[in-house]
C-alpha cells in the first residue's frame, strides 16, 4: 500500500515562523483534514509538499523512496488542487477533458460522472463555482497520482455540489490518499479519517468540533 511520509517541515518568512517541525503521513484509503485560521500555514503546507514553495527544511518519503521538492511534480505521485482555477476559461468543458485524458476510455470516467452532462457544453468561465470545483476535482482525481492535496475544495460552492464532491472524494479514497484544507469544517469532518489543526506553527491532532473550539480555531458559539 502506497504511503506518503513528510517530516521535518520548517518554513519561516523572515522572523515569522509559519511551520515548525511539522510532520504528516498518510496512506491509501485515508482522507486527512487540516484546519487553521487564515495565515497559519495550511496552504503553505500543501505547497511545500507539492514543491511549489521552497521549504527551509523538509523530508519527503513515498514508500521507501526519498524525494527532493523539485522531484515531486515530475514524479506524478502527488496531485494538487490550488485555490485558484487552473482551467482555461474560454474552452468548453467537453474540449477540456480530452486535454487531460487523450485516451477515450479514460475520458469516460469524467464525461459520465454524475451531473457532468448538464454542463459539458458550457465554457469553463461560465460554470458556477460548484460546477468548476467539481470538474477540477474530477480531472485531478482521475489522473494517476496516488496522493491528492486539495486546497479548499468546498469553499464558496453551492450546497448541492458539496454533496456531489463529498461522494466523489469518498469514491477516490478507495484508491488514493487525500489531504485537504478548508474552512467549511462540517463538510471536512463528514468525510475525514484523521484531522489536525495548525496553531502557533505546530500541528495538533483533533478528534471533533469540540477540539476545534479547544484549540481556538472556532469560537464556542459557532
CA angle, 207 then 209 then 213, to 5°: 110
Nearest C-alpha neighbor of 49 from the set 5, 106, 99: 5
pLDDT at site 222: 66
Say whether pTM exceeds 0.85: yes
Burial of 36 (0-12, 13-18, 19+ CB in 10 A): buried
Q: What percent of the chain has pLDDT over 70?
A: 99
Set out the domains of the chain in order of their start, with CATH numbers. Answer: 3-84+138-214 (3.40.50.300)
> What is the pLDDT confidence band of residue 87, given thresholds at 50, 70 and 90?
very high
pLDDT at residue 105 is higher than 90: no
| Collapsed DSSP state (helix, strand, coil) of residue 74 | helix
Amino acid at each position: 500500500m502506497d504511503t506518503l511520509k513528510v517530516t521535518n517541515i520548517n518554513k519561516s518568512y523572515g522572523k515569522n515562523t509559519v511551520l515548525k517541525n511539522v510532520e504528516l503521513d498518510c496512506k491509501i484509503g485515508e482522507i486527512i483534514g487540516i484546519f487553521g485560521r487564515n495565515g497559519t500555514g495550511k496552504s503553505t503546507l500543501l505547497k511545500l509538499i507539492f514543491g511549489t514553495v521552497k521549504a527551509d527544511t523538509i523530508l519527503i518519503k513515498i514508500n521507501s523512496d526519498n524525494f527532493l521538492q523539485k522531484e515531486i511534480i515530475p514524479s506524478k505521485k502527488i496531485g494538487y488542487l490550488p485555490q485558484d482555477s487552473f482551467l482555461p476559461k474560454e474552452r468548453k468543458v467537453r474540449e477540456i477533458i480530452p486535454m487531460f485524458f487523450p485516451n477515450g476510455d479514460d475520458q469516460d470516467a469524467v464525461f459520465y460522472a454524475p451531473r457532468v452532462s448538464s454542463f459539458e457544453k458550457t465554457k469553463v468561465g461560465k460554470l458556477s463555482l460548484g460546477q468548476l470545483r467539481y470538474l477540477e476535482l474530477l480531472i485531478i482525481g482521475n489522473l494517476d497520482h496516488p496522493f491528492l492535496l486539495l486546497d479548499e475544495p468546498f469553499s464558496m460552492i453551492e450546497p448541492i455540489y458539496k454533496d456531489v464532491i463529498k461522494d466523489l472524494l469518498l469514491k477516490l479514497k478507495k484508491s488514493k490518499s487525500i489531504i485537504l484544507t478548508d474552512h467549511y469544517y462540517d463538510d471536512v469532518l463528514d468525510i475525514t479519517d484523521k484531522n489536525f489543526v495548525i496553531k502557533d506553527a505546530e500541528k495538533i491532532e483533533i478528534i471533533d468540533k469540540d477540539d476545534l473550539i479547544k484549540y481556538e480555531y472556532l469560537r464556542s458559539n459557532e
